[in-house]
Chains A and B, each alone.
Chain A
Amino acid sequence: MPVIETTAGPAWRKRTTGQSMVRWFGWLLGLAAFLWCWVRISESTTWFFVWDAPRIASDIFTRATPPRWSYMDSLWLPIWDTINIATLGTMAALVMAVPVAFLAASNTTPSRVFVRPLALLIIVATRSINSLIWALLLIAIIGPGVFAGICAIAIRSIGFCAKLLYEAIEEIDRSQVEAITATGGSRWQVMAFGIVPQIAPAFAGIAVFRWDINIRESTVLGLVGAGGIGLQLQASLNTLAWPQVSLILLVILFAVVISEWVSAKVRGAII
């Protein structure tokens, strides 16, 4: 703790002069970076539209209310598609994530030098690219539709599920594994009786958690053409049919709340 001599006697300070200078320059740099960013944003903004924004917002609001409830009839099928994209996508993702997780966990991987980095690369690469970008890519490859949506959700979810799962595998109680090994269990028996029962609750929790996220993500996949309720949203936006847009937004909000509730209930029951 530095003590600084003042005319009134020694005074205690939290930091030395050098430390506080470094901090001061840190804050200065941060502020400068933020201001520079703000200048760039404001340069590429048409401020006329921004000053006009309250009027446009209220205009959109009056056009969008009340929602066109009769449009609901043509939404049931897209809702069903959206749920399928999320559920089937999550299932496919889990099937692919389990082996990746076992290859990535440092206590189960066959090789820490060669296999583990590869598994970690798969995890990072699938996680860092948004499902909308995966959807764009898959639509270019396999054409628009629900199938592309399922694949996009599945690929995107691998990294998330595998990451949480391999962390769970690394945190298991080693003594149980040793007990199974001591009975003469083979590699697969150790896996089935020593490791799997320990990570099963975590696995179920991860599955439900990701399903909840996937419901949210699958509602907007249609914006790029990958099926589900987003297609209707895109079509309504393109024709400026605001009453339909507001109805779809309400449906999406409702779906998100329901899925969050279901996910919380199921996780409460499992864990």
Chain B
Amino acid sequence: MSHRELDDMLGTRWRKPPLVQRAWLRWVLGLGLLVYLVLAIASVEVDWGRVYDGLDRGWAFVLAFTSPDFTSRASDIWSGMLESIVMTVASSVVGILISIPIALGAARNIAPLPVYMICRGIIAVSRALQEIIVAILLVAIFGFGPLAGFLTLSFATIGFLSKLLAEDIESMDRSQAEAVRATGARWSQWITYGIQPQVIPRLIGLSMYRIDINFRESAILGLVGAGGIGATLNTAFDRYEYDTAAAILLIIIGIVMALEYLSGIVRARVQ
């Protein structure tokens, strides 16, 4: 900055430089956002009378959290919860086992191009389709029950875990892998001694995180008939049994918190 510029700036108040440099673009973006907001808010119909009527029920629901009813539907809650947990465990195990070879295939630095393309394709499909939509299709194909939920969660696990694991393999330290290869190791030895030790802590951390996600998702698959606690929860809402619904939600929150705490401990230990 020259002296002339500094002299010019002397005595004038400093102003924060704007985020978008070009003035016209700034105005166009701002106006566009405003127009969109007006249109969007105008197109949302709110029946305030209905909302007002609902406030009582909302308050009843909040009160239900102070007296959750674990007992009157205990067997339904128990079997639904058990089914959710069973689906979570089975789908996590299967999903993780399948996602390891796919992750190896989707890492550009160890896989040949055709394999890479196929594995990336599998990951893209699995990530683009939502769990609930996959569950609808699988329920239509395999019938109601936890099998559809189990398959859905396994499928979703593959997309999540393979993508992150493949990225981790791609960013690994090359020299260790090269050192193992220089000893004349076979491909399987190369993977076991050169690559696996580098990515295993990350794999454990990601798996714990995915178990957590799978449990949360298993709670909603019941809404479309794919097994788990979701069906019980849906019935509780339909019958306006808020104390039972509150009990189920409290159990879900409790398990999720416990899982998060557990995964924190595990991740701290392996890293």
Interface string of A8-44 (1 = CB under 8 A from B): 0000000000000000000000100110011011101
Closest B residue to A270 using CB positions: B19
Q: What band does the interface of chain B fall in when counting residues whose beta carbon is under 8 Å from A?
A: 35 or more
Contact at B86–A223, with CB atoms within 8 Å?
no
Contact at B257–A84, with CB atoms within 8 Å?
no
Contact at B50–A143, with CB atoms within 8 Å?
yes
* Neighbouring A residues of B41 by C-beta, 8 Å: 88
> Is A190 part of the binding interface, using a Cβ–Cβ cutoff of 8 Å?
no
> Is A155 part of the binding interface, using a Cβ–Cβ cutoff of 8 Å?
no
Q: Which of A88, A141, A220 contacts B61 (CB 8 A)?
A: A141
* Neighbouring A residues of B237 by C-beta, 8 Å: 136-137, 140
B127 vs chain A, min Cβ distance (A): 9
> Is B243 part of the binding interface, using a Cβ–Cβ cutoff of 8 Å?
no
> Is B44 part of the binding interface, using a Cβ–Cβ cutoff of 8 Å?
yes
For chain B, residues 123 to 174, give those with C-beta under 8 angstroms from any C-beta of chain A: 128-130, 132-133, 136-137, 140-143, 145-147, 150
Q: A56-B140, A128-B257, A220-B132 are in contact. Are A44 and B145 (CB under 8 A)?
A: yes
B248 vs chain A, min Cβ distance (A): 9
Contact at B145–A223, with CB atoms within 8 Å?
no
A49 to B128, CA, bound (A): 27
For chain A, residues 145 to 181, give those with C-beta under 8 angstroms from any C-beta of chain B: 145-147, 150
B94 vs chain A, min Cβ distance (A): 9
> Is A235 part of the binding interface, using a Cβ–Cβ cutoff of 8 Å?
no
Contact at A140–B90, with CB atoms within 8 Å?
no
* A residues whose Cβ falls under 8 Å from a Cβ of B: 30, 33-34, 37-38, 40-42, 44-46, 49-50, 53, 56-57, 60, 80-81, 83-84, 87-88, 124-125, 127-130, 132-133, 136-137, 140-143, 145-147, 150, 216-217, 219-220, 223-224, 237, 249, 252-253, 256-257
* B residues whose Cβ falls under 8 Å from a Cβ of A: 36, 40-41, 43-47, 50-51, 54-55, 57-58, 61, 82-83, 86-87, 89-90, 93, 128-130, 132-133, 136-137, 140-143, 145-147, 150, 216-217, 219-220, 223-224, 227, 230, 233-234, 237, 240, 245, 249, 252-253, 256-257, 260
